Structure 1
Amino acid sequence: MKFLDISEVSKQTGVAASAIRHYEEKGLITSLGRRGLKRLFAAGVLDQLALISLGRDAGFSLDEIRDMFGADGLPALSRAGLHLKADDLDRQIERLSGLRDMIRHVADCPAPSHMECPKFRQLIRISTRRKRSRQEKRALPGRS
Structure 2
Amino acid sequence: MKIFDIGVLSERSGVPPSTLRYYEEIGLIESIGRRGLRRQFGSEALTQLALISLGKTAGFSLDEIKGMFGKGGVPDVPRAAIHARAEALDAQIRRMTALRNALRHVAECPAETHMDCPKFRRLLIVASKSSLRTKGGN
Is TM > 0.5 for Structure 1 vs Structure 2? yes
SS in 2 for 1:47: helix
Q: Please tell me the residue identity of whatever aligns with 1:15.
A: V
Task: Determine the C-alpha separation between the residues in 2 that align with 1:91 and 1:25.
Answer: 35
Residues 88-107 of structure 1 aligned to structure 2 (within 5 Å): 88-107=88-107
Moved more, 126-135 or 65-74: 126-135
Q: Give the secondary structure class of the aligned counterpart of 1:34.
A: strand
2:55 is the counterpart of 1:55: yes
Distance between the aligned counterparts of 1:79 and 1:66, measured in 2?
Answer: 15
Shift of 1:121: 1.6
* Unmatched 5+ stretches in structure 2: none
Taking the aligned partners of 1:121 and 1:25, their CA distance within structure 2 comes to 50
- Corresponding residue of 2:46: 46
**AA aligned opposite 1:104:** R
> How far off its partner does 1:92 sit?
0.8
Greater mean deviation of Cα atoms: 2-11 or 109-118: 109-118
Distance in 2, matches of 1:66 and 1:78, equals: 11
- Once the two structures are superposed, residues 50-69 of structure 1 have per-residue CA deviations (whole angstroms, 9 ceiling, x without a partner) of 11111111111111111000
1:12-41: CA deviation from partner (whole Å, max 9, x where unpaired): 111122221222222111112222222111
Which amino acid in 1 is paired with 2:49? L
In structure 2, what is the equivalent of residue 131 of structure 1?
A: 131
Provide the C-alpha distance between the structure 2 equivalents of 1:50 and 1:37, rounded to a whole number of angstroms.
25
Unaligned runs of 5+ in 1: 140-144
TM-score by structure 1 length? Answer: 0.88
Between the two proteins, the alignment pairs up a number of residues equal to: 138
TM-fit CA distance, 1:112? 2.0
Q: SS of the residue aligned with 1:136?
A: coil
2:65 — aligned with what?
65
Give me the whole-angstrom Cα distance separating, in 2, the residues matched to 1:27 and 1:16: 17
Match of 2:26 in 1: 26
Structure 1 CA distance for aligned equivalents of residues 69 and 75 of structure 2: 5
Q: TM-score, normalised by structure 2?
A: 0.91
Identity, % of aligned positions:
51
Q: Which amino acid aligns with 2:67?
A: D
